[in-house]
Structure 1
Amino acid sequence: MKKEVNQEQEFLFGKRNYIIMLVGIIFITVGFIFMSGGGSEDPNVFNEEIYNWQRIRLAPTLVLLGLAIEIYAILADPKK
């Protein structure tokens, strides 16, 4: 005889953790969007726009901040 066991499936993380993860993903996505562009249609013409502060400073900072937020979301206690 087999006993039927009804087990409720639990998520690995809590709702708070998933919200923090979503915020981290948004930071990473915005960082990559800021990094895009700045190219030139003509390969013989150099475009100085590739070296603006947005692509050199802001975008990598947002991506690294997003990764730090993701690490925090994984390590945060879901029961708090």
Structure 2
Amino acid sequence: MDKRNLAFGKTNFILLAIGVAVVIIGFILMSGGSSTETVFDPNIFSARHITVAPIVTFIG
């Protein structure tokens, strides 16, 4: 494939990959322990899940 046919240049593809990686990291930060009907995990309301992870995802 010729370079003229690509939509982005090398720098743009690198920035795109970094952005996707940051979004994936944000979603990983949002994941947490599971709560069942008998066991409640209070860590789902931590600052990491509610504040940090959405900000990281938005930046990505």
- Give the TM bin, normalised by the shorter chain: 0.7 to 0.9
Q: How many percent of aligned residue pairs carry the same amino acid?
A: 36
TM-score normalised by L of structure 2: 0.84
Report matched runs for 1:1-80 at 5 Å.
Answer: 8=2, 10-40=5-35, 42-66=36-60
Question: Which structure 1 residue ranges, 5 or more long, are not aligned?
Answer: 1-7, 67-80
The letter of the residue matching 1:53 is A
Question: Which structure 2 residue ranges, 5 or more long, are not aligned?
Answer: none
- Superposition misfits of 4+ residues, deviation over 3 angstroms: none
Distance 1:12 1:48 in 2: 47
TM-score normalised by L of structure 1: 0.65
Q: RMSD value over aligned CA atoms?
A: 1.3
Larger helix percent: 2
Q: How many residue pairs end up in the alignment? A: 58
